Amino acid sequence: MTASRLARGDLPAPPLAGRNSGSQAQEGRDGGHRLAIACTVAGESVAVSASARAERQHGGGQRGSSELLRARCELLRARCELAARLRARNPALREAIFERMCAVGTPVDRGDAPYLASLRGAVAAGLEAALEGIETGDPERPRFAPEIVDHIRLAARRGVDLEQSLRRCVAGELLLGELIMEEAPAISAETLREIARLQGPIVDRMMALLVSEHRAERERLAAEPGRRRRQIVEALLAGESADSELLGYDLRATHLALVGVGAGAKAALTALRGRLRCAALIVDQSAGCAWAWLSLAAAGGAGEVAAALRGLAGAGAAIGVGEPCAGVEGFRESHRQAQAALRVAMVREGGHARFGEHCLTAAALADELLCRHLARTYIAPLRALERGEGEVCAALRAYLDSGCNAASAASALGVDRHTIQRRVRRVEERLGKALHACLAELKLALALTELEAVPANAQPPR
C-alpha cells in the first residue's frame, strides 16, 4: 500500500521532465513532487500540490517553501508510522479500552453476552475512526460505523443512562491518549500536538452522536408502552383476541366510554378519572385525540360522571360519552356510542354530549342525506317564517317540549296561550302538514338548528 511505503520512507520520486542549473531548485522540485504524491494518498493533495506549483513558478529562490513542504511530509510520515504501530497492537488496544470502559461507574453485567459483544464492536469501530483521523489528518473524514450507533441504542434499552455512557466514552478516549503517549519516544513533540489537535474534534463528534442517539432511543422506548396499549385496544375494538392483561383494566366491568378531541383531550380525561377516583383505561389514539373507559361501578354512576363532565367546561376538548355497557362487548358498544356522540359534542356549547340524550342528532349528523332533507323540508321554512314573524322557533320548541300543550308552552315563554296557538298554526300552514304528522322530524330539525349544524342558506322547497 502506498501509505505504508510512505511510512517506511521508500516512496520513489517520479521522473522529472528536465533539470536546471540550480541544485537547490532541483531539490525543491523533487521534494515538492514527492510530497504532492504522498499527500494525495493522505487526503492533503489540494493544499500541498498548490504549494508545489507555486515553488515551480518562482524557481529555486523559494527554499523556505520547500522546507515547509518537507516539514509537512515528515509530519505526514510520522502520523502514518504512528497509525501503523497502533494498528499492529490493535487486538491488545481494543481489549484494554474495552476493559477500561467496563470498569467505569456501574459495573457491566458480564453475563449479558449481547451487550458485551455490542460494546466490543463499538470499541473496535471507535478505534478505527481514531486511527483513520490520525492517518488522514482530517478529523471530519472518519465515518462512525453502524456498530457504534447500534451499541448506543442497546445501552439506552438496557437502562444505561446518558451520563454513564458519556463517562465510558471519555474513559476510552483517555486510555487511547495514554496508549499514544507510550509511543512518545518515537514521536516528535510537533507530531503529538498534531495528534491532539486531530483527536479533539473526533471525540466531539462521537459525543454528539452518543447524546443524540441515546435520547432518541429513550424517546422511542417511552412511546412503546402507549403504542402497545393502543394496539391491544384497537384489536379488541375490531373483535380480535388480544392479551388484555397488559392493559391493567378489567374488561368484565360495566364500562362508560369517552372519546375526546382537542389539545386538552387527554388532560381532560385524566382529570375526569382523578375526580371520580375510579378504575380507568386512557389511551392516546393520536395527536389531539384520546379514548377512555371508566369502570362505572367504581365511578359512582352516570349522574356523577355527568356532573364531573360539566366541571370540565373550557378544558379545550370536545368529549363524546357513551352509555353504560358491560363486558367485552359492552367495551366496544359504549366506545362506538361515544364516537357518535362526539359529533354532537364538537358543535354543541359546553363541549360534551351523552349518546343517550343526543342519539338521533348524532345519527342525523352522520347522515348527509338526512341533514339536507331536514334543512330543505323543515329548517329553511321555519327560518323564513321567523324572519317575517319572529320567535317562531322558540314557540315551536316550547310547544313540543311541553308535549304539545299550548298553556304550558305559553307559561314557559311568558306569553298568552293564543299566541302559541297562532304560531303553531302558522308553522303548519308553512309546512303544509299537521305537526302531529311530523313531530320526530321537527324535533330533530330544531336540535340541528340549536347546534348550527345545518347551512344557514338552506332554501325551502318550492
How sure is the predictor about 63, in pLDDT bands with cuts at 50, 70 and 90?
low
Q: How confident is the model over 90-119, as pLDDT tens digits?
A: 899 999 999 999 988 877 777 788 888 999
| Residue 302 · residue 324 · CB < 8 Å | yes
Q: Does residue 424 register a pLDDT over 80?
A: yes
Rounded mean pLDDT, 217-244: 82
Higher pLDDT, 12 or 418: 418
Q: How confident is the model over 285-305, as pLDDT tens digits?
A: 777 889 999 887 654 566 677
| Residue 290 · residue 282 · CB < 8 Å | yes
CA distance 242 to 265: 26
Whole-number pLDDT of residue 262: 85
CA distance 122 to 120: 5
Give the range among 32-36, 198-202, 423-427 with minimum mean pLDDT: 32-36
Exposure class string for 154-176: b at 16+ Cβ within 10 A, else e: bbbeeebeeebbbebbebbbebb
Integer angstrom CA distances of residue 30 from 56, 66, 123? 10, 10, 42
| Helix, strand or coil, per DSSP, at residue 207 | helix
User: Comparing C-alpha atoms, which of 305, 286, 303, 284 is closest to residue 294?
Assistant: 305
Q: How confident is the model over 165-206, as pLDDT tens digits?
A: 899 999 998 998 888 888 767 677 777 787 778 788 888 888
Give the range among 122-126, 327-331, 400-404 with minimum mean pLDDT: 400-404
Provide the whole-model pTM.
Answer: 0.51
- Please name the residue that has the C-alpha cell 393520536: 286
Give the side-chain half-sphere CA count within 13 A for 139. 13
Whole-number pLDDT of residue 333: 95
Q: Does residue 17 register a pLDDT over 50?
A: no
Whole-number pLDDT of residue 197: 80
Interacting residues of 33 by C-beta distance below 8 A, sequence separation 6+? 13, 14, 16, 52
User: Comparing C-alpha atoms, which of 166, 115, 172, 124 is closest to residue 145?
Assistant: 124
CATH classification (class only), 249-364 = alpha beta
Please state, rounded to an integer, the average pLDDT across all residues of the chain. 77
Whole-number pLDDT of residue 403: 84
Whole-number pLDDT of residue 1: 40
CA angle 243, 247, 253 (to 5 degrees): 100
Give the side-chain half-sphere CA count within 13 A for 426. 21
Whole-number pLDDT of residue 378: 85
| DSSP secondary structure of 100-134 | HHHTSSSPP-TT-HHHHHHHHHHHHHHHHHHHHHH
How sure is the predictor about 135, in pLDDT bands with cuts at 50, 70 and 90?
confident
Rounded mean pLDDT, 23-44: 39
Instruction: Let me know if 133 is exposed, middle or buried by CB neighbors in 10 A (0-12, 13-18, 19+).
Output: buried
Exposure class string for 336-345: b at 16+ Cβ within 10 A, else e: ebbbbbbbbb
